[in-house]
Structure 1
Amino acid sequence: MDIAHHQATEDLKNIEKWYTKMSLSINFSKTTYMTLSINQSGQPIESNIEVYNSTTHTYHTITKTTKSKYLGVIVDQHIKWKEHIDHIRNKLRHLTYIFSNLRRICSMNHLRQLYFGLAQSIIQYCLVAWGGTYQNIIEPLRRSLNILLRVILKKDRYFHSNDLYQIFNVPTLNDIYTYKITFFSLKHSHNWILTDQTYNTRNSNPQDNNNETFH
């Protein structure tokens, strides 16, 4: 971790020099850094990074954060996407109130169009990145979506959730994710590189040393 901290400090020095050379400046008041790990035990001891500002000839402290929002997506230090999913759920709660009023004046066809524009557009944004997270993390989002559909269709809590999507003729969260990940894979299939597998695995054929794998 000390090596990584030292390397990060050196990289930031070079970045700051490049900014100065290009007559630009880093907004240190809005700059933080984040370390990624599967769990908390993989996180380093919190340590600030000091960067020298060659323009003002002063040192600036860059603090460590546990999450960061980039292009509307909240990335957390364990890449579990809980904060981002909670953010989406809050938006759906707001939409639930809006649709509870819209259903009184809009036809079902108009409500469906509004659902695609207001709700599904939020759900599917960058879904390829966070849609494959743990089920216990994404399940609350699925429940929030079910609640929204029950409000739109005026169904009680005991109405089966699968029937909600069939009646309203909209895809489930799993359906949207499957479509998005399939479309993404096909679109970028030319980037998949075939390499020779030079190590033995349990499923490899001992008589075939020219197994191919995707990377």
Structure 2
Amino acid sequence: MERIITPAGPSRPAQAARRNPRPSDQTDEQEQEHIVHTIFGGTATGDTPSSRRSYVREARQYARGEYINMTEHISKICRQDSAPITFTDDEADRLLHPHNDALIGEIRVAGNVIRRVLIDNGSSADIMFMDAFSRFKIEGVALTPARTPLYEFSGECVRAAGTVSLPVTIGDGPERVTRMVEFIVVDRPSVYNVILGRPTLNAIKAVVSTYHLAMKFPVE
């Protein structure tokens, strides 16, 4: 069992130094003008304060061994045993190495083939851009207002145009899965049509390898 060791508080000289930083420290802080963040926010834990509090309450109950799923959330406990998912060096032979390419794929959304889909396990939301949404040939599909904002890489707040739940199929033939995905629709320019984030990747138990530029997931 690992022990977590909390460092003791700073000594008096250290506290004095913190109150009176050296000129070099001040220069370093002044030079730090830009901070790069990841995409976070969205409706993964709910779109209202009450739903987010319920999500946190369930997580705390589960941590104490008191978990009872009394909400509409999908159970957070993985109950299905799956075969190990592995990647081999042979699967990377088709690529030119070294590379730093992003994993871009193709999915089917409500019968529409969508290309330029970014697989991003750094995003806490599944995002569809308005340009792609407006091209859908689906009758009776309307956006639901969304209250929860998104935050871009720069930390800038982005208000969503709305949310929409659509059936998404990933894979081909027998090696495919279909899930209902709640997309946050954003009216911003992008080179991608869709960003598949952690909500969907976790729902299908996907394992992503950027080295192999591949994603694997169990199928029934």
- The normalised TM-score by structure 1 is 0.23
Kindly indicate which of the two structures has a greater share of residues assigned to helix: 1
- The normalised TM-score by structure 2 is 0.23
Q: Relative CO higher for 1 or 2, CA cutoff 8 Å, sep ≥ 6?
A: 2
Which structure is larger by alpha-carbon Rg, 1 or 2? 1
